[in-house]
Structure 1
Amino acid sequence: MPRPDTTPTPSPFDVGPGAGLRVGYVTKMYPRFSETFIVNEIRGLERRGARIEIFSLRAPVDTRFHAALAQVAAPVRYVPRAPRASDAWAALAALHDRLDLRELPAGVLADLLAADPEDAVQALEVATVAHDTGLTHLHAHFGSVATTVARLAAGVLGIGYTFTAHAKDIFHESVDPEDLRVKLAGARAVVTVSDHNVAHLRETFGPAAAGVRRVYNGLDLDEYARATAPRLPGRVCAVGRLVEKKGFTDLVDAVALLAADGSDLHLDLVGTGPQEAELRERVAAAGVAGRVTFHGPLPQDRVRDVVARAAVLAAPCVLGTDGNRDGLPTVLLEAMALGTPVVSTPVTGIPEAVHDGETGLLVPPGDAAALAAALGRVLDDDGLGVRLADGARSLVEAEFDVARTSRRLMEVLRAASSSPAEARSAA
């Protein structure tokens, strides 16, 4: 069956720098409701002329999808999972029909034999498709299983791989430092989403991370134009998975403190996750059930509307007990673009976007009283909200426009897909 034409539609972006670049994007799961940044990134690269094939190692489990997915031209291939060692040998034999694997470097074969059989089989499947479709480079998101598969597949084909490191794949207690070191050292380039992450990786992994560079997640500012509709007085919103690192227990406590102090406010909480039952119980125990709406997961256009109409967005992120933490939440950038004032915490890369008193307010993580005070300041002072929103929009336009961030990533991918020497010289 003929492959669909994936030629990107012309756009206002300076299309052309990506001409000839054919990249396989390796993801653990695509699409994923919470990972809009990957969709934004692929759209930005396609507008610059890159031809992309998406590999998803797991079938999606989300029942709702964002409308922006329809604007991605890249075909998606769901890579079969086969957990037996014998499947790896069968996959290797199938690939041998296309490539002379007698010249496979000994280290690559050793890596395949040492890998989990399921990862090895998926890597060989990716390598087969990449060979047949003429891909020149592989890029993975998150330094976990997607990069494992991309690294193995790239080794088989003799091409380069890169990956984007985020947060859980760096900080969570489950991360194997030696495994991550090998991936950092073997990649032709590594990008991550904040200067904080760059510093952490370089300090932790030394020379293996010397070439890591920061490329922020970008927003399409045509879609996130500054909102003009009236904001709802007293309306606080928060968006994210209902998990410990989001700090939503502190937010519930802050709402209770403000309500007890006579503030007429309401919290719109968008998202779902394992902490939902605990949060509902906390809301009820605090006597603020009438002041909190649990919306569950919403599509991107609905989230945008909730954020645009709110008087303030709260992102009270904390360091999880398992080491997990946010990198730089996309919803913070979205709120800043829309002109909604933000209150957050100085966790990981957040202070690179939220400059206290200039583009938002920062409070200590885990401090519900300080969070309540900051939210109260914004709710009670329209002038402060406008000043913060003005500063935030200016910063987003300067640093987080996807036209800018996709250009920087394109430069990384072009250099990395050319040759190891050129990739190192561009670092």
Structure 2
Amino acid sequence: MVKFMPENPLFVLGQFPTYSETFIYRELILLVKHFSNARIVVLKKNRYVLPNPDFACLEQYIVFKQDGFLRHLPRVIFLIIVNPLKTLKYLLMIFSLYFPQKDLLVYIRDFFYFLHIGLYCRENGITHIHACQANYPAACALTIMMFFGFSFTFSAHANDLYTDLASLKYKISKTGGVICCSKNNLHYLSQTYPEQAHKIICIYHGLAAAEENPYLNRRKNTEDLKESTKKNQAALSLLAVGRMVPKKGFTALIDLAQLLCSQKTAFHLDIIGGGPEEKILKQLIREKNLEDYITLHGQYSYSRVKDFYAGADFLLVPSLAMKNLDSDQIPNVILEAFRYGVIVIANNTGAIHEAVINRKTGFLVKSNFIREASSIINNRKNSTMYQAIRHHASALIAEKFNIHKNINHFIQVLEKK
């Protein structure tokens, strides 16, 4: 395994800011505090508002791939000219991995950007590169390693792990280590690439340990919550949070709401998030006359979302296992719900079972989400069991998903202690 010198690491991030990578931003805040000379390169700059104002502190460490590119371009071209064998090796690699996929043209174009980032590393005393995702960021780190000799590691999560399978084996063979966010991913990679299993470890994402459990003072305290529940103040508050993409399974929530209505259950469902399926959900809500029972709120910052957690009775996580192997591992919303004492009802997909232990830290649905979720919601009178679930879920964060403990492990891996 490559010997690391991570005193001045560079973290390669896919995009910033975005709602889908907040769990990575939380970790980066702690990592840049530990590695005082660390830098972050962002490969795609978004125009979104920061999902959490706490992430603003990262901006002082960030450079974007376009920054200074034109200034470096003559040197990049010179680097290519004087390194014909390395250039040929790179081109042969991407042709063998991506031809005839459209990604081939992307990697030919971004070859120049990757070398530009490599020059930035050399000029700024970077000693190690960690790619925060297994797809595009890891490809960037791999290219820089090929031309400049920097050691690199990368993290593997969900979508990034299963959507670039063509190059994954090659990246693992060249990296010094792979950090997975679940045992499910660890087992998948170790079984698929057994000769590289010694490089692969699991370090969970997490949340900061709270001094006081927020659910002890749970209350509805925003205008949005008042608006969504004013039709029936005694109604159960159901919540779903996430991107509106197929693997989240949010269309099942519409059928669940229709079933609860037929069972005369008093409830209101708040769905927070945005994405390509938002129009489909709006149409289904209209077609089934559920406007009085479901509110789509769009994307909110975490400071607003946590108020919904504070007022919710159940968090619904109907995630699906997709045909392309992409599925949720451990959605961060589950951990956030644990923090606020919200009872989680989740489909047993991906690595969700590593957090949601059935009837201990939540309810894990193994067959029909709509039928089983409605049964759980309508049989909620066992207050002793629910209090025990909240206690065990809170304890699980402290034991298994404590971000400070897990980041210390992350740092030890980089430092090879």
TM-score interval for Structure 1 and Structure 2 normalised by the shorter chain: 0.7 to 0.9
Deviation, structure 1 residue 52:
2.0
Deviation, structure 1 residue 225:
4.3
Deviation, structure 1 residue 357:
0.7
Look up the equivalent residue of 1:265 and give its one-letter code. Answer: F
The Cα offsets for residues 257-296 of structure 1, whole Å up to 9 and x where unpaired, read as: 1121111111110000111111112222333211111110
In 1, Cα distance between the equivalents of 2:16 and 2:406?
Answer: 21
TM (normalized to structure 2)?
Answer: 0.85
Deviation, structure 1 residue 245:
0.8
Look up the equivalent residue of 1:181 and give its one-letter code. Answer: K
- Structure 1 residues 140, 375: CA separation in 2 closer, same or farther (over 3 Å shift)? farther
- Residue aligning to 1:389: 390
SS at match of 1:326: coil
SS at match of 2:292: helix
Say whether 1:317 aligns with 2:319.
yes
The Cα offsets for residues 214-246 of structure 1, whole Å up to 9 and x where unpaired, read as: 011121234994333345650011100011111
**Contact 2:269–2:295, Cα closer than 8 Å, also in 1:** yes
In 1, Cα distance between the equivalents of 2:197 and 2:109?
Answer: 28
The Cα offsets for residues 152-182 of structure 1, whole Å up to 9 and x where unpaired, read as: 112322121111111112234xx333x1000
- Residue aligning to 1:356: 358
In 2, Cα distance between the equivalents of 1:66 and 1:342?
Answer: 23
Deviation, structure 1 residue 63:
3.7
Q: Which runs of 5+ in 1 are unaligned?
A: 1-17, 416-425
- Residue aligning to 2:206: 218
- Residue aligning to 1:168: 159
Look up the equivalent residue of 2:411 and give its one-letter code. Answer: M
**Contact 1:218–1:401, Cα closer than 8 Å, also in 2:** yes
- Structure 1 residues 21, 165: CA separation in 2 closer, same or farther (over 3 Å shift)? same
**Contact 1:40–1:220, Cα closer than 8 Å, also in 2:** no
SS at match of 1:266: strand
**Contact 1:242–1:274, Cα closer than 8 Å, also in 2:** yes
Deviation, structure 1 residue 35:
1.0
- Structure 1 residues 363, 207: CA separation in 2 closer, same or farther (over 3 Å shift)? same
TM (normalized to structure 1)?
Answer: 0.83
**Contact 1:363–1:374, Cα closer than 8 Å, also in 2:** no
SS at match of 1:218: coil
In 1, Cα distance between the equivalents of 2:213 and 2:87?
Answer: 48
Deviation, structure 1 residue 24:
0.8
**Contact 2:347–2:369, Cα closer than 8 Å, also in 1:** no
Say whether 1:264 aligns with 2:243.
no
Look up the equivalent residue of 1:208 and give its one-letter code. Answer: Q
In 2, Cα distance between the equivalents of 1:225 and 1:166?
Answer: 28
Alignment of 1:129-148 (within 5 A): 129-148=120-139
Alignment of 1:189-338 (within 5 A): 189-222=177-210, 225-231=213-219, 234-338=236-340
**Contact 2:218–2:340, Cα closer than 8 Å, also in 1:** no
The Cα offsets for residues 20-74 of structure 1, whole Å up to 9 and x where unpaired, read as: 7211111121222221111110112234345321111111142454211123365
Indicate the RMSD between aligned Cα atoms, in angstroms: 2.9
- Structure 1 residues 50, 190: CA separation in 2 closer, same or farther (over 3 Å shift)? farther
Deviation, structure 1 residue 376:
3.0
Which deviates further from its counterpart, 297-306 or 25-34?
25-34
Look up the equivalent residue of 1:372 and give its one-letter code. Answer: S
